[in-house]
Amino acid sequence: MSEYAIRVNNVSLSYYIRKGVSIKNIFRKSKPEQDMFQALRGISFELKKGKILGVVGRNGSGKSTLLRAIGGIFSVDQGSIELFDNKVSLLSIGVGFNYLLTGRENVVLSGLLTGFTREEIDAKMDNIIEFAEIGAFIDKPVSTYSSGMYSKLAFSLVSELNTDILLIDEVLSVGDEKFARKSYQRMKELIEDKNHTVVIVSHHLETLDELCDEILWLHDGEMKMIGNSPDVLSKYRNYMQ
């Protein structure tokens, strides 16, 4: 059994960005122009089981793209990502739910896609619903949810499914003040549990300094630095100033 939970080897990833369409071209029914954007270039690192990796960088540096690649949402153009049969979940507001399905149906679907059995999901369902605090809306389409209800259910689902690898994209707490305190405490407990391997993307450097073992600094899709948290964060702070 490997001592590593994640191995990212020479990963590059690009995608098309559609340019703006003029009124003239709409009536001409011409195809919109697209630019190729290189989001990641030659990213390589290993993360041991139970470790916490923070990812920093300016907006557009590839942080969220990297998380989505590790989570299997994006396919890489080059290189490989190994998860050593670990179950992985991504907590990122706006990712993961089908708006036509009910909250309960989305919980089941997300759990199955993550690798849990229907029996395992059913056993966790009551806890997910109780923590989310959305009441009868659990059996209504997600399209009827407010943004707060959506984020509460998404957070509750990820925190209760308890996967081997947690990918956290800026979301350490959600909801109103009371729920935010509860959700932050839950997330902190999950992160500090050595049974979990965690990758956190955040601009909140104090939180990363407190929680993370290592920091990966991305710049324009490339690795600028990786190492222990104090060293990398110190250089990153100096750079940003």
The 10s digit of each residue's pLDDT in 157-197 is: 988 988 999 999 887 777 788 888 898 888 888 888 889 99
Return the ∠ at Cα 48 (arms to 73 and 71), rounded to 5°.
5
More confident residue, 35 or 23: 35
Looking at residue 101, its pLDDT comes to 95
Least confident of 44-53, 79-88, 93-102, 134-143: 93-102
pTM of the complete model: 0.84
Say what the pLDDT of residue 143 is: 95
Query: What's the distance, CA 239 to chain centroid?
Result: 25
Strand ordering across the sheet containing 78-82: 34-48, 4-18, 78-82
| pLDDT range class, residue 87, cuts 50, 70, 90 | very high
pLDDT exceeds 60 at position 32: no
Give dist(CA 152, CA 96) in Å, integer: 13
Task: Report which of 40, 126, 21 is spatially closest to residue 80, judged by C-alpha positions.
Answer: 40
